Structure 1
Amino acid sequence: MSVLTINHLNLNFGSTKVLQNLHLAVNQNEIICLLGASGCGKTTTAQSHCRFIAN
């Protein structure tokens, strides 16, 4: 059972596509880690889900 589900998340800053069609599902008792290069959208993904960024 998913405790967190993100489907089709898209986010633009102006004309720049930052996140495109992101899907994420986290099940109960799972631990996740977002890994990636600098500037690839890890913090933006978390902030968007927490509504620190209006989407």
Structure 2
Amino acid sequence: MSPDPVTVAPDDDADVATHTFRRHESRQLPAVDHRMTMGMITSTTCCCDRGKSWATY
């Protein structure tokens, strides 16, 4: 595990996640809220569900 991983917030939309995936050349991003991991977002999920908040899952 990386000591300072790139993350998204659970309420970020797919556009934010897509930008983060591209900027950091990543395929998975942890969704973190107040230092607690809420889930993992994948580039596949992001492409399928653009415009939704991750908090809806």
Q: TM-score, normalised by structure 1?
A: 0.24
- Higher-RCO chain (CA-CA 8 Å, sequence separation at least 6): 2
Higher helix proportion (structure 1 or 2): 2
Higher Cα Rg, which structure: 1
Give 1 or 2: higher strand fraction: 1
TM-score by length of 2: 0.23
